[in-house]
């Protein structure tokens, strides 16, 4: 029983991590139909910015819990900056081009940003462990968990719920859904699609950066972290269905809990599990679990 509870908690924590790194990717794809490889850069820049701001914050005598604000500030700074620069400076020139060209362009930008990151922060790792130390630990089923990791579950729920409410209950969300449904008709009806695209890309970038910023206190922030994340994020998004927020959530849960079970019961197949689920879903439902079937335009 203890092992079962631990698997569930571990699975939920890892699922939350997966959801946080995947949700921005799926939001951007859902609206703009762009497979955005620079998402890995948003994650990495978010983590570096977070580590830098946290480090600077704890150099001051300000209240300890204020350090958490640094995490969200980092996500906002990185997301807004790169959202505007990349959408206005690169992507808007490519919307009329083939999807594959856009993927290649974002991949090229990802490589460029990896070098920019090295130019700014160098190769030395950055540590920002203070927020994690501050929250201490809790015992669940006689197992000690870092409280900070458990807050990741809450953050994922808030982000998922916020995006869902924003999409379904607000005017802006309805405009977004209209654009997702049919970009051309939306434009004809007077929706400012250019603005919708820009705002969507910024939100997606903030989500990617928030993933990195929130994870930063638990890791050694070092070169290459964005590369690993993008692969996992793609796997989750493909399983859930490209562009579906509930899909990303279910995909993350499926992968997270299956992986946790594998680590506890059959650790040698930990790696295999994630991609086995992806292969299985693609074999049965190639568009992913939650992506609606696409009507072909003639």
Partner 1 sequence: MNFTNKPARAALLATGLAAAIGFSAGAANAAETVVMAVPTFLTGAGAPAFGVPARNGAEVIIEAINKGTLPAPYDKSGKGLAGRQIKALIYDESGGGVKQVAEFRNKVQKQGVDLFVGYISSGTCAAITPVAEELKMLTIFPICGTPRIFEEINTNPKYVFRTMGHATADGVAEAHYVKANLPDVKGYTGINQNYAWGQDSWRDFDLAMKQLMPSVPASDKAQWPKIFSGQYGTEISALMLSKEPLVHSSLWGGDLEAFIFQGAARGLFRKKKLLFSVADTSVYRLGKKAPIGAIIGARGPYGIFAANVDTPLNNWFRKVYSDRYSTLPVGGSYQAAQGVLAAKFAYDKAAAANGGKFPSKDQVIAALEGATYQGIAAKVHMNRSNGHQAATKHMIGVLEWDKEAGGPIMTKVTEFGPDCVMPPQGINGTEWLKGGMKGAKC
Exposed/middle/buried for 144, CB within 10 Å: 0-12, 13-18, 19+? Answer: exposed
Query: What is the nearest approach in angstroms of partner 1 to the Cβ of residue 147?
Result: 9
Applying CB under 8 A, does 39 fall inside the site for partner 1? no
Contact mark string toward partner 1, 204..233, x via CB under 8 A: -----------x-xxxx-xxxx-xx-----
* Residues 96-135 within binding reach of partner 1 (CB under 8 A): 114-115, 118, 123-125, 127, 129, 132-133
Please say which residue, 119 or 284, places its beta carbon nearer to partner 1.
119
Q: Minimum CB separation from partner 1 for residue 126, in Å?
A: 10
Handedness of CA 156, 159, 164, 165 (dihedral sign): positive
Per CB under 8 A, does 64 bind partner 1? no
Asked if residue 65 binds partner 1 (CB under 8 A), the reply is no
Asked if 59 touches partner 1 (CB under 8 A), the answer is no
Q: How far apart are CA 49 and CA 81, in angstroms?
A: 12
When the beta carbons of 196 and 209 are compared against partner 1, the nearer one is: 209
Q: Answer yes or no whether residue 55 interacts with partner 1 by CB under 8 A.
A: no
242: nearest Cα among 11, 35, 2, 3: 35
Are 109 and 201 in contact by the 8 Å Cβ rule? The answer is no
**CB of 108 vs partner 1, minimal distance in Å:** 16
3-state secondary structure labels for all residues of 108-141: HHHHHHHHHHHHHHCCCCECCCHHHHHHCEEEEC
Per CB under 8 A, 89 contacts partner 1: no
What's the rounded Cα separation, in Å, for the pair 17 and 22? 9
Contact yes or no for 228/142 (Cβ under 8 A): no
Neighbouring residues of 240: CB distance < 8 A, sequence distance ≥ 6: 22, 26, 246, 247, 248, 249, 250, 251, 252, 288, 289, 290, 291
* φ, ψ of residue 190 in degrees (nearest 5): 95, 5
- Contact between 71 and partner 1 (CB under 8 A)? no
Write down how long the chain is.
Answer: 298
Identify which of residues 64 and 228 has a Cβ nearer to partner 1 in the complex: 228
Backbone angles phi, psi at 297, to 5 degrees: -80, 140
Site string for partner 1, 148-167 (x = CB under 8 A): xx------------------
Please tell me whether residue 8 binds partner 1 under the rule CB under 8 A.
no
Does residue 173 touch partner 1 according to CB under 8 A? no
Query: Which parts of 14-33 interact with partner 1 (CB under 8 A)?
Result: 14, 17
Query: Which residues 252-281 are close enough to bind partner 1 by CB under 8 A?
Result: 259-260, 263-264, 267-268, 270-271
Calculate the alpha carbon distances from 270 to 41, 262, 264 in Å.
26, 5, 9
Give the nearest distance from C-beta 82 to partner 1 in angstroms.
Answer: 20
CB of 267 to partner 1, least distance (A): 5
| Residues lying near partner 1 in the complex (CB under 8 A) | 2-3, 6, 9-11, 13-14, 17, 114-115, 118, 123-125, 127, 129, 132-133, 137, 143-146, 148-149, 215, 217-220, 222-225, 227-228, 259-260, 263-264, 267-268, 270-271
């Amino acid at each position: 029983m203890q092992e079962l509870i631990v698997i569930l908690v571990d699975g939920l924590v890892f699922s939350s991590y997966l959801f946080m790194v995947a949700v921005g990717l799926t939001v951007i794809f859902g609206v703009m139909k762009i497979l955005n490889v620079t998402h890995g850069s948003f994650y990495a820049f978010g983590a570096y910015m977070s580590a830098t701001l946290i480090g600077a914050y704890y150099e001051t005598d300000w209240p300890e819990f204020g350090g958490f604000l640094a995490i969200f500030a980092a996500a906002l700074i990185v997301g807004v900056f790169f959202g505007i620069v990349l959408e206005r400076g690169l992507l808007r020139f490519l919307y009329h081009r083939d999807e594959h060209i856009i993927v290649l362009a974002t991949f090229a930008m990802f490589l460029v940003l990896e070098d920019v990151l090295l130019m700014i922060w160098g190769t030395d790792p950055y540590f920002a462990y203070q927020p994690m130390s501050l929250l201490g630990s809790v015992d669940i089923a006689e197992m000690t968990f870092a409280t900070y990791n458990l807050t990741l579950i809450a953050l994922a729920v808030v982000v998922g719920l916020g995006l869902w409410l924003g999409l379904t209950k607000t005017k802006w969300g309805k405009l977004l859904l209209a654009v997702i449904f049919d970009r051309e008709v939306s434009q004809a009806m007077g929706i400012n699609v250019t603005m919708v695209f820009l705002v969507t890309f910024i939100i997606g970038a903030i989500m990617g950066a928030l993933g990195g910023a929130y994870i930063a206190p638990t890791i050694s922030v070092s070169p290459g972290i964005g590369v690993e994340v993008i692969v996992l994020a793609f796997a989750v998004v493909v399983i859930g269905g490209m562009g579906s927020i509930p899909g990303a959530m279910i995909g993350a849960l499926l992968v997270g809990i299956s992986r946790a079970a594998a680590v506890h019961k059959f650790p040698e197949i930990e790696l295999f599990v994630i991609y086995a689920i992806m292969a299985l879903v693609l074999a049965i439902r190639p568009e992913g679990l939650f992506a609606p079937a696409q009507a072909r335009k003639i």
